[in-house]
Amino acid sequence: MLICLPPSEGKTPAPDGAAPVDLARLTGAEHLSDQRRLVLEALAAVSARPDATDLLGVGASLGAEVTRNTDLKDAPTAPASRVYTGVLYAAAGLADLPDDVAARAAHDVRVFSGLWGAVSPADLIPAYRLSMGVDLPGVGKLATAWRPHLSAALDARAAGDVVVDCRSAAYLAAWKPATTGDAAADWVTVRVVREADGKRTVVSHNAKHTRGVLTGHLLRRSGPAPTSATELLAAARELDGQVIGTEVGTGLSYRMVEATLHDASTRRGPRTLEVVIA
């Protein structure tokens, strides 16, 4: 099982005094270190420019976070599971896993990043501000720039396994598992829909939360990790009928109703695990 997550929009800075990032110790260093160094240096240069917020596609209110990008080589680090925060990460509980489950997460989870390419929850990184959708001066469009490096780092890891894809489109563009040939993986994206009055609609906030709940469940459940889409479906269905969240605003709880698996729409595309909440 390989679970692919998007990063959180906001990042929580590490405590002062923590060690700086060591590129050689990050997951996939043999394939990703050179590109990480290139993006890190380009980001520092861009973030020092007066038009940095425009180039990075963020609002002026995030100017302090952009300024922090100029000194990331010396910034304090913390495990990625604590730097990445937000709805999905809170629901998954990656920062509070027991040791044996944390080891599984380090092996089975990759968080995709415009700066790092992909990291494990255990990797020590500083807080930063850079989206995969940015066209970074000195590097180019990040999803395109990262693609060959992520392929080298992840194709062999994914081959013959199930890839549980919870990423958004910008991060999905940086790496897609092979679905044919010797390196083929069983690629499954996760879609969350709400059922009300007999109708099903796509949801946003609740979708992030539900993907987080599913991620946490897949890591914490007893037994071997799924290695195929069929086994993933069976594991997801263990949540059927359970209360998995509370509605923002109303305070009403919602349950997972069912999970179904849909075939790929194209030969090279992913299957879809549809999770229904109500």
Q: What is the pLDDT of residue 248?
A: 75
Q: Please give the pLDDT value at position 111.
A: 98
Is 163 within 8 Å of 4 (Cβ atoms)? yes
Number of domains in the chain: 1
- Residue 58 is classified by DSSP as -
pLDDT of res. 151: 98
Structure tokens of 182?
């010797």
pTM for the model stands at 0.96
pLDDT of the residue at 196: 87
Predicted confidence at residue 247, as pLDDT, reads 76
- Walking along the chain (278 residues) 10 residues at a time, the average pLDDT comes out as 96 97 98 98 98 96 95 98 95 96 98 98 98 98 98 98 97 97 96 90 88 98 96 98 86 93 94 96
Give the structural domain span for 266. Answer: 2-277
**Cβ 276 vs Cβ 259: under 8 Å:** yes
Beta bridge mates, 100: none
